[in-house]
Amino acid sequence: MKVKIHDLEFEKMIPFEHIEQRTAELGQTISKEYQNSTPIFVGVLNGCFMFTADLLKQVNLPCEVAFMKLSSYRGGLESTRSIREDLDLSVDIQGRHVVLVEDIVDTGNTLRYMVDKLNALNPASIKVCALLYKPEAMEHDIPELQYVGFEIENKFVVGYGLDYKELGRNLKDIYQLVK
């Protein structure tokens, strides 16, 4: 099935059923690893909203959730190097175990920025859980990236929270750009 968003065409790549199944596995792994603590999940908006909601339903632990808002894409296909902070973290993470929740890691610039920023606030630990990861595009070494839903090719994707020029976030499945 294909969808048109603005001027581009996208085809289905990861059906929701696979996302759901993989998210349940990630939730179980995280629940086991954080068994004796109360982690705080920090979502990076906007793209993470669906994944964070579904992931947390699979986490069987007392836990907190908070959000930050960053923009690194300026509404197109290419990553810009500049990161704008739209909403800061409103909770104190000092001494806390933090799980950073990302929709997608592309060049890793956003993640590098986030991990450095959160590390400066002296958490007990930081690990990253990303639904999608494009290893070919990655420009950084980020050992905190411990939980990955799907490694994907270096193609532009939309759906399940991810957008192309702000549209497509509401699609239930993940779609990739048709060349």
The residues binding ligand IMP (CB under 6 A) are 47, 72-73, 79, 102-111, 156-158, 162
Helix (H, G, I), strand (E, B) or coil at 50: helix
Catalytic residue among 103, 106, 116, 173: 106
**Cβ nearer to ligand IMP, comparing 5 with 56:** 5
Q: Tokens 């986490």 correspond to what residue?
A: 59
Contact 101, 52 (CB under 8 A): yes
Nearest distance, CB of residue 136 and ligand IMP, angstroms = 12
**Distance between CA 105 and CA 79 in Å, rounded?**
11
Ramachandran class of 44: left when φ > 0, alpha when ψ lies in -120 to 50, beta otherwise: beta
Q: How far is the CB of 94 from ligand IMP (least distance, A)?
A: 25
Mark 64-74 as b/e (b = at least 16 C-beta within 10 Å): ebebbebebbe
- Catalytic annotation present for 88: no
Task: Output 34 or 109, the one with its CB closest to ligand IMP.
Answer: 109
- Please state the closest distance from residue 121 (CB atom) to ligand IMP, in A: 20
Amino acid at 15: P
Nearer to ligand IMP, 128 or 162 (CB): 162
Residues forming the active site = 106
